[in-house]
């Protein structure tokens, strides 16, 4: 079983990496990019029978800083 966890900064949290990417795109001639939010994707290869609740616990304890980040889980 596989799980994919998408982690992003919460709205209202400053994203300096996203701002650097937005600025770099403008410098390269890509006009019209008004904002960039950068996050991460974590892919987990899990044993059969692992529950979404277990993956959520992984996120809460390690994979996401829930004070400033939100996450979503996809199970395959």
28-76: per-residue pLDDT in tens? 999 999 999 999 999 999 999 999 999 999 999 999 999 999 999 999 9
What does the pLDDT read at residue 4? 98
**Chain Cα centroid distance, residue 29:** 27
9-40 residue pLDDT tens: 999 999 999 999 999 999 999 999 999 999 99
Is the separation of the CB atoms in 51 and 1 below 8 Å? no
Give how many domains the chain has, as a whole number.
1
CA 36, CA 49: separation in Å to the nearest integer?
Answer: 37
CATH number of the domain to which 10 belongs: 3.30.1280.10
Range of the domain at 10: 2-75
Element (H, E) at 16: helix 16-27
pLDDT score recorded for residue 26: 96
């Amino acid at each position: 079983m596989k799980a994919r966890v998408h982690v992003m900064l919460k709205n209202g949290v400053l994203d300096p990496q996203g701002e650097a990417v937005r600025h770099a795109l403008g410098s390269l001639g890509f006009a019209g990019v008004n904002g960039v939010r950068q996050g991460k994707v974590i892919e987990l290869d899990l044993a059969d029978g692992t529950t979404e609740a277990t993956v959520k616990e992984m996120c809460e304890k390690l994979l996401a800083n829930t004070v400033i980040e939100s996450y979503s889980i996809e199970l395959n």
